[in-house]
Amino acid sequence: MQPVSIYCQSIEVSLRTGPDIADITTALEQLIGESRIETGQLCATMVGSTGSITTIEYEPGVVEDLKQAITSLAPPGREYEHEKAWHDGNGHSHVQAALLGPSIALAVRNGSLKTGTWQQVVAVNHDNHPRKRVIEVTVTGLAG
């Protein structure tokens, strides 16, 4: 039986004031190439409590629609308990990120992500200022 191997790496992406959404699919595909893993899974985790990861069809309309929905979940204008102690104005960012969740698990098949044709993996910055976000990636599986 062929042994299972594991490949760990991180990617960085610069994001504007939240909610901002970046397509990280190409960066993940590159890591899979480096890993030489053909069949298995990829887990990606946002480092930091004001970011999240999900998938969408990365076209400008959906991106805008998702930004609005995220803002509605926890609008910046409300009163947040977090502000009373910290005064950093990002109470909404923490709530939004916790609701979306920091991680994703994807299938790797034939050395590539097995996602839909119009399904891209995205990193979301919810913070109230631009952030360079780090995503930790772990690929587990069998080499070709």
**Residue 128 binds to a second copy (criterion: CB under 8 A):** no
Binding to a second copy, residues 57-96 (CB under 8 A): 57, 59-62, 64-66, 69-70, 73-74, 80-86, 91, 94-95
Q: How many residues bind a second copy (CB under 8 A)?
A: 66
DSSP string, the chain: -PPPEEEEEEEEEEE-SSSEEEE-HHHHHHHHHHHTEEEEEEEEEESSTTEEEEEE--SHHHHHHHHHHHHHHS-TTS--HHHHHH-SS-HHHHHHHHHH-SEEEEEEETTEE---TT-EEEEEE-SSS-EEEEEEEEEEEEE-
Binding to a second copy, residues 37-56 (CB under 8 A): 39-41, 43-45, 47-49, 54-56
- Nearest-approach distance from CB 73 to a second copy, in angstroms: 7
Q: How many residues does the chain have?
A: 144
- Nearest-approach distance from CB 33 to a second copy, in angstroms: 18
| Residue numbers at the binding site for a second copy (CB under 8 A) | 1, 3-6, 8, 39-41, 43-45, 47-49, 54-57, 59-62, 64-66, 69-70, 73-74, 80-86, 91, 94-95, 97-109, 114-116, 118-120, 122, 136-138, 140-142
